[in-house]
Structure 1
């Protein structure tokens, strides 16, 4: 059985992010491991950031937060969840880039033994064609991957 010393978890501020971070934080606390929280985002111009980003609909960057401000909010929410699980948070990172690549590179850089990622049931055509973040992480990870699924009905 693997001893987890570093656990990396992704967050995007979605409904599934809370349970995903909670599971990662619980495992990290149980294993006395460091928790690294990662939020991948797409940097926006100040003008776009000032607008209500939610109205930009139609974006197909699954799992990627639009704008540094929204990413900061997602990280803050994830940190609060992790603290509630008594996890030791060694880093909370905003990464400008694609979610799977951000998780994989962070896991490699930090020497992680586990990546925890949420995976919703792919509902849109874009998600089915492009693949999910969880699938990309699973294909590219050199460590264990735990996929947290939504609760039934979500």
Structure 2
């Protein structure tokens, strides 16, 4: 078996997701792999009914970043965390869309061979309605998935 060459990790800026970023950074550094840090976000166009509807459902959840500027700040912070954990070659990308769709798209575009996600997902009724990012990503990914235990 060969070492991973390209690792993708998702972040929403939460401390939990940044723990997954640090683990991905350490793994990428140890393997000499490229680390691609992705943040999915919804545009903040107030005239877009789909965006307003998604924002109403998600409300205060850290699950979805709203707007490109917060997404860019999120990946900058994550880049620092990954570099501090040992990642050498780090790229960042902010992608419009839902977290799972965005991660799977980045994995495909980057020809990644590992996807890293944190184990924290939505709980309660929102989780049942919208799904859990770790569970959905694991189920749908065409590449290996590392689920990092990120909660205390």
Aligned-partner SS, 1:101: helix
Alpha-carbon distance in 1 for matches of 2:121, 2:58: 18
- Closer, same or farther in 2 for the Cα pair 1:2/1:125, shift >3 Å? farther
Q: CA deviation at 1:108?
A: 1.1
Does residue 1:65 correspond to 2:65, yes or no? yes
Q: Deviations over 1:64-101 (max 9, x none)?
A: 21111211121111001011023133420000011101
Q: Deviations over 1:32-86 (max 9, x none)?
A: 0000000000010389xxxxxxxx7752677221111211121111001011023
Q: Which runs of 4+ in 1 moved over 4 A?
A: none
- Unaligned segments of structure 1, at least 5 residues: 48-55
TM-score relative to the length of structure 1: 0.84
Aligned pairs, how many? 144
Structure 2 residue runs of 5 or longer lacking an equivalent are 48-54
Q: Distance in 1 between matches of 2:33 and 2:21?
A: 14
* CA drift at 1:142: 1.0
